Amino acid sequence: MPSFSTLSLHSRAEDHYRHAAAEFHDTTMRMAFETIVDLFPAAHTLTVFGDNEGSNFTPRLRVATVLDAAGAVLYDAQDGTDDNDLQEKIDEVGVEHLDHLIDLHPDDWYGDGEITADDVKS
């Protein structure tokens, strides 16, 4: 059986880990949203879709649509865009930011989800 001091150290480390993971999740969500706002200044809501990619079933989370405050579609992944630079930046949001969210909390992000301006207010 682990000693009391080992159990105490473990408990403190676990608390620290949970706090750090929550902070990383929230900051990563904010980074994803702010990057999309740089591309679409009127963005208010990102709808996202989480699934497994390829034969190794790697979890991934991607931007599905970008909506303004009235719900008008600014971007739809099914339609894509003719602007290759813009599409590349949107794809980077998935790889560089959103994938971390599904890695941390897969049950929260598989399937349809959304991130709104209200979710990322500081």
In eight-state DSSP terms, residue 82 is S
CB 12 within 8 A of CB 4: no
- pLDDT per residue as tens digits for the range 84-108: 999 999 999 999 999 999 999 888 9
Residue type, 17: Y
Per-residue confidence (pLDDT) for residue 122, from 0 to 100:
63
* 97: number of Cβ within 10 Å: 21
Q: In sequence order, which residues have a C-beta less than 8 Å from that of residue 74 and are 6 or more positions away? A: 40, 42, 43, 65, 66, 67, 68
Please name each of the domains of the chain with its CATH number. 4-120 (3.30.500)
* 105: number of Cβ within 10 Å: 14
**Across the strands, what pairs with 39?**
none
CA–CA dist 98, 3 (Å, integer) = 40
- Read off the pLDDT band of 56 (50, 70, 90): confident
Per-residue confidence (pLDDT) for residue 20, from 0 to 100:
95
For residue 38, pLDDT over 90 is answered with: yes
